[in-house]
Amino acid sequence: MPVIPGSFAYHRPDSLTQAVALLADLGEEARPLAGGHSLIPMMKLRLATPEHLVDLAGIVDLKGIRTDGSDIVIGAMTTQHELVGSDLVAAKVPILRETSLLIADPQVRYVGTLGGNVANGDPGNDMPAVMLCLGASYDVTGKSGERRIAAREFYQGAYFTALEPGEILTAVRIPVPAAGHGYAYEKLKRKIGDYATAAAAVVLTVSGDTIATCSIGLTNLAETPLWAEEAAKILVGSAPDAATVKKAVAAAEAITAPASDGRGPAHYRTKMAGVMLARALARAQARARA
């Protein structure tokens, strides 16, 4: 099995305009390069053989974390390590910090970017389900201009997304959840640094004993990340007892379609999705009531 990528030309534009123009000129054999921690391993295995890599690392406009009205806007080239260290993220969208800390190991997080993680389309990536859970959207720029795509409409299949050839994801835009919300990302993995066998993201608010709002995302349980809308609906308006949680868990399990692979047979992974969801719900509620 080859472990050396095929040959390619390397380009390092220093503006978004240049990067978009390069990708348009070079055509379908060109790919953006972010942290390289998904793309380079794929190239080493010859599962990706781009003839041109357009490195986004020199484009300063793609970095940074800021608020914009009621949204938090995170530049695509912001690393997972920078998410872990951001006071703004910790204060406004703490589930991003919790999730980042469960991605791989520090070495990967130092260079792996949020934009690369969500644009990649790998069902094993952790951030996409969190973005579905949060109702995030992605700002993209290509030769036809700029557009904004809801994360819930972005993922079409394993490694297939709504990105058109040559488009660059520039930023992730997240509506800041209500102050005092509860959150949790629960991830079952075989060892530190592994992708999820099953994982669940929960963001909710409570009013007294009752769950007032709830959103749920699931990782690595189908060809795309999943937004478990029906499961969340079962919980909203309830002071969830064991029977209600069981019903919500069953609704979430019902939309999963995981592969049987080295992480376990499909029915096991589906059941683990339910276990992760029940744990995430318990932890999110405890945080919201604290």
Interacting residues with ligand FAD (CB under 6 A): 31-39, 41, 56, 76, 103-104, 108, 112-113, 115-117, 119-120, 125-127, 163, 168-169, 193, 195
CB of 71 to ligand FAD, least distance (A): 18
Q: Decide whether 39 or 234 has the Cβ nearer to ligand FAD.
A: 39
Q: Decide whether 168 or 251 has the Cβ nearer to ligand FAD.
A: 168
CB of 111 to ligand FAD, least distance (A): 6
CB distance 128 to 96 below 8 Å: no
CB of 82 to ligand FAD, least distance (A): 12
CB of 256 to ligand FAD, least distance (A): 18
Q: Decide whether 116 or 274 has the Cβ nearer to ligand FAD.
A: 116
CB of 4 to ligand FAD, least distance (A): 16
Count the neighbouring beta carbons within 10 Å of the beta carbon of residue 82.
20
CB of 31 to ligand FAD, least distance (A): 4
Q: Decide whether 35 or 177 has the Cβ nearer to ligand FAD.
A: 35
CB of 138 to ligand FAD, least distance (A): 9
- Interstrand relation of 137-142 and 226-227 (parallel, antiparallel or unpaired): unpaired
Q: Decide whether 26 or 234 has the Cβ nearer to ligand FAD.
A: 26
Q: What are phi and psi of 4, to 5 degrees?
A: -115, 130
Q: Decide whether 32 or 274 has the Cβ nearer to ligand FAD.
A: 32
CB distance 182 to 204 below 8 Å: yes
Q: Decide whether 189 or 287 has the Cβ nearer to ligand FAD.
A: 189
Q: How far is CA 204 from CA 131, 132, 170, in A?
A: 14, 14, 28
Q: Decide whether 26 or 163 has the Cβ nearer to ligand FAD.
A: 163
Q: How far is CA 126 from CA 98, 104, 123, in A?
A: 11, 10, 8
CB of 220 to ligand FAD, least distance (A): 9
Q: How far apart are alpha carbons 227 and 85 in whole angstroms? A: 27
Read off the amino acid at residue 129.
A
